[in-house]
Structure 1
Amino acid sequence: MPNTYSQIYLQFVFAVKGRENLIKEDFREELQKYISGIIGNKKHHLISIYANPDHIHIFLSLKDLSSSISQLVKEIKVSSTNFINEKKFLDTPFYWQEGYGCFSYSKSQRDSVVNYIQNQKQHHAKKSFREEYIEFLTKFEVNFDEKYVFEFYDNPG
């Protein structure tokens, strides 16, 4: 639609099914480039991405508001699942867990979010994904029930 402008910064976080460490270093960058292509084809702008072995962070600027956020995440998850499986990067089928986190930021926070995402390896040397994700939900004041948060096998409760 003409004369419609937006600048919405969103970070998506979602996990590998079963929280298994299936995203290997030898195909991590290729996966990130593939997801970047999906985002670009949808007329959005990828700002930062990092695929950890068991989860991914995607930070983008939402440009085209004609489709929903859930449609975008579904497209990323379905297409990247098919990409990983068709390329036979793994000996077993790959899937993402159901659900995702979506967190919004202002322009002034952009650099700190990029820095955070690009330093995931160092960050997770000190903090588990479960701790990180619960922190996000708490910081953004998201009401949640732990039984509906990602399957966290490192937590017996």
Structure 2
Amino acid sequence: MFTRQQVRDHLRTPKAVRSVLFKPASASRNMPKFLQLKGRRIHHTDILDAGGSYRALFLWRDGNIFEKRKFSAWLFLSEGDDLTPIARMDYHPSHKGFHMHVNCEDSRDLTNRALPGAKELAIGRTRKWDPKVDIDRINLVDQALKCLRISMLSLEGGLF
């Protein structure tokens, strides 16, 4: 849907969110269905206004073992009630480390869809962080904010 240059421009555009507060997933939170944010193991933020037409979402999934846990950060372009994913940064403790899925060089319209089969870019391996551990989750959020060029405008001075 986007060209490489358009994705690069979206990622380079400065953005800001007020805070990143995770809550357990529930049907009453009224999240878009394509994000599949259901289940007792998923904790996520609301869809955050990141300035202009940009929206962000952060989530982590618990697992019965460390290797099944996951952290993701989404960047969307909002047009009315529609969300078009620009990029999703993922961290899987079991493999790959940080990597990003980007919505570029694809003729499909991914408005209100996840990024199935999207181009994947390796960001690099890091030490093993556990999304379930508060300090590690803070580090994961910090990495995602840097990667998506989102600054924090929290009045409380913290991430949560």
Q: Shared fold (TM-score greater than 0.5)?
A: no
Select the structure that is richer in strand.
2
If the length of structure 2 is used for normalisation, what is the TM-score?
0.30
Larger Rg: 1
Higher-helix-fraction structure: 1
